[in-house]
Amino acid sequence: MFVKVCGLRTPETVDAAVEAGADAVGFVFAPGSVRLIDPAVAAELVARVPRGVETVGVFRGQPIDEVLRLARQAGVSTIQLHGDEPADHFARATESGLRTIRAISAARFTAAGHAGDERLLIDATVPGSGTTFAPEDLPVPPSVGWLLAGGLRPDNVAALIAAFGPSGVDVSSGVESTPGVKDPELIRAFVSAARF
């Protein structure tokens, strides 16, 4: 089970995620987010992450030139786009040597509407809100590996993995003590629960 911990902002919580065995750590560059991080601060955190752990910059509806500039400043390996961005944004990122994740709400996902080669993260309608969605909201999940997000917590992640059958999970609010503030103990509990 691939595990991503998103919205990290401090060395202690990055270290907790890496030491717990997370496969990816995320940094949010979407304006207005309670988890927004300055790219220079993110670069210091990225420098702590060992090779082999993916570093993901999260964006929503921003111009691709801005996305690429912030991704370069932070030094992330991957971008995750939440704004229904056109295919050419993903192509530009790939040309720049970045890996990509397309994030889409369960309400908007249709298998026919998505290229099989896109790495998908299926989320609740409002990203980073801690809201879950039900299996009936995603009647036909992606046919290839995909990440489940939206309201996952240490105490529900195992059941939601069993219900949806994703190949990976992504968490943010569910490992926070207050909005935007990650808790190392909850991060450890989440990674362990996701690998039941």
Ligand X SMILES: O=C(O)c1ccccc1NCC(=O)[C@H](O)[C@H](O)COP(=O)(O)O
Q: With binding defined as CB under 6 A, does residue 85 bind ligand X? A: no
Q: How far is the CB of 121 from ligand X (least distance, A)?
A: 7
Q: With binding defined as CB under 6 A, does residue 193 bind ligand X? A: no
**Residue sitting closest to ligand X (CB):** 128
Q: With binding defined as CB under 6 A, does residue 68 bind ligand X? A: no
Q: With binding defined as CB under 6 A, does residue 119 bind ligand X? A: no
DSSP strand pairing (181-182 vs 120-123) = unpaired
Q: With binding defined as CB under 6 A, does residue 33 bind ligand X? A: yes
Separation between Cα atoms, residue 37 and residue 111, nearest integer Å: 33
Among 58, 79, 81, 187, binds ligand X (CB under 6 A): 58
Of the candidates 23, 123, 155, 170, the residue annotated as catalytic is 123
* Helices 11-20, 39-46: inter-axial angle, 10-degree rounding: 40
Q: With binding defined as CB under 6 A, does residue 78 bind ligand X? A: no
Q: With binding defined as CB under 6 A, does residue 174 bind ligand X? A: yes
Residue 123 among the catalytic residues: yes
Q: How far is the CB of 48 from ligand X (least distance, A)?
A: 20
Q: How far is the CB of 146 from ligand X (least distance, A)?
A: 13
HEC string for the chain? CEEEECCCCCHHHHHHHHHHCCCEEEEECCCCCCCECCHHHHHHHHCCCCCCCEEEEEECCCCHHHHHHHHHHHCCCEEEECCCCCHHHHHHHHHCCCEEEEEEECCCCCHHHCCCCCCEEEECCCCCCCCCCCHHHCCCCCCCCEEECCCCCCCCHHHHHHHHCCCEEEECHHHEEECCEECHHHHHHHHHHHCC
Q: With binding defined as CB under 6 A, does residue 150 bind ligand X? A: yes
* Closer Cβ to ligand X, 68 or 160, answer by number: 160
Q: Among the candidate windows 104-112, 135-143, 150-158, 186-194, which touches ligand X by CB under 6 A?
A: 150-158
Residues that bind ligand X (CB under 6 A): 6-7, 26, 28, 30, 33-35, 58, 60, 82, 123-124, 127-130, 149-152, 170-174
Catalytic site positions:
6, 123
